[in-house]
């Protein structure tokens, strides 16, 4: 992947994270390879990328088994945070770990907008 694209993705994640309440943000390949990430210290971004991709792919498998199409978003509500995974086009997932008090409506909207930008960057 071109260094310019990685730099643009990193800048995009920084802007997204500036909205507040975001602990981590990652862009991964659909196979779980970490492309770019902003995660707290002592967080293994590669493991988070791989496991999140596995979770999204499991959701896809389940929904297609019921002939409901592909899953667009996976949300895991934890005791002190929320993990949200969405598709960012045919090549990537956009993964966000939030603080527990984040309002999901605005988060979903901003994630969708950012995912479209990620898709555009990866298609060039």
Residue 10 has pLDDT above 70, yes or no: yes
pLDDT for position 1 = 62
pLDDT for position 116 = 97
Residue 97 has pLDDT above 90, yes or no: yes
- At CB < 8 A and 24+ separation, what contacts does 96-102 make? 96/16, 96/22, 96/24, 96/25, 96/26, 97/22, 97/23, 97/24, 97/25, 97/39, 97/48, 98/21, 98/22, 98/23, 99/21, 99/22, 99/23, 101/21, 102/21, 102/22
pLDDT for position 51 = 95
pLDDT in tens, 59-80: 989 999 999 988 889 999 999 9
**Angstrom distance (rounded) from CA 116 to CA 41:** 28
pLDDT in tens, 80-89: 999 999 999 9
**Angstrom distance (rounded) from CA 96 to CA 98:** 6
């Amino acid at each position: 992947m071109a260094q310019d694209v990685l730099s643009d993705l990193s800048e995009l994640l920084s802007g997204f994270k500036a909205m507040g309440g975001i602990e981590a943000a990652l862009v991964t390949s659909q196979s779980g390879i970490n492309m770019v990430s902003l995660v707290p210290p002592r967080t293994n971004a590669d493991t988070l990328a791989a496991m999140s991709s596995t979770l999204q792919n499991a959701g896809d498998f389940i929904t297609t088994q019921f002939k409901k199409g592909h899953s667009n978003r996976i949300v895991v509500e934890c005791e002190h945070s929320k993990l949200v995974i969405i598709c960012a086009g045919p090549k990537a997932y956009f993964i966000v770990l939030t603080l527990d008090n984040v309002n999901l409506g605005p988060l979903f909207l901003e994630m969708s907008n950012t995912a479209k930008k990620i898709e555009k960057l990866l298609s060039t």
